[in-house]
Chains A and B, each alone.
Chain A
Amino acid sequence: AQSVTQLGSHVSVSEGALVLLRCNYSSSVPPYLFWYVQYPNQGLQLLLKYTTGATLVKGINGFEAEFKKSETSFHLTKPSAHMSDAAEYFCAVSASGNTPLVFGKGTRLSVIA
């Protein structure tokens, strides 16, 4: 079975500062990993995904994440936060892409001007 732990239910950063959202996963088979963003009263939008190959993946809106198997982590980063990045972020895992996604509880990102 797969599971995801997102450390920190709420992260607050200043505009222009580094964004780091933490995600650790558990999977008995090679995982496929995803980050989604959700704005209020909306569905989820895919930011980026790791399936196979290069462990550093780049996504939309300047976000990137690195798959570290030894640490079972897939942390999301962005060099410089923008006010429009304020939203809820969810990490998710699937067993080789063939099982339903399992989501973490989410991290709410606030950006302070």
Chain B
Amino acid sequence: DTGVSQDPRHKITKRGQNVTFRCDPISEHNRLYWYRQTLGQGPEFLTYFQNEAQLEKSRLLSDRFSAERPKGSFSTLEIQRTEQGDSAMYLCATHRAQGSYGYTFGSGTRLTVV
């Protein structure tokens, strides 16, 4: 069990650029979640997958955001045409769908849009 890994840890980008983040889950965890956390706030749900199927997307997830989990293992979150309001910590969390409650979180990717 190597934990949930997120890459990169930090990303600084200019407004209007595209960015992509990666999350590698614990191997036997088939559910994977993306959350966004801004300063002084709790994590806000963005989307989640069970294996490769994207089961739910939050209304927070504008059409500039897209997430994939092509083989049911790692996942990517892409933000197109970044805006300053996208600056936040992006957290990935995973767990087994059956018989397990409570997520294991990665350390997050901190995005700063300048």
Q: Name A's B-contacting residues (CB within 8 A).
A: 4, 9, 32, 34, 36, 41-46, 49, 51, 90, 92, 94, 97, 100-106
Contact = CB atoms under 8 A, between A and B. Distances in A.
Nearest to B107: A43
Contacts of A94: 101
Interface of B: 4, 6, 33, 35, 40-45, 48, 56, 91, 93, 101-108, 110
A41 B112 CA distance: 14
B44 to A, nearest CB: 8
- Tell me if A's interface is mostly helix, strand, loop or mixed: strand
Contacts of B104: 46
Nearest to A51: B101
A101 B110 CA distance: 21
B101 A49 contact: yes
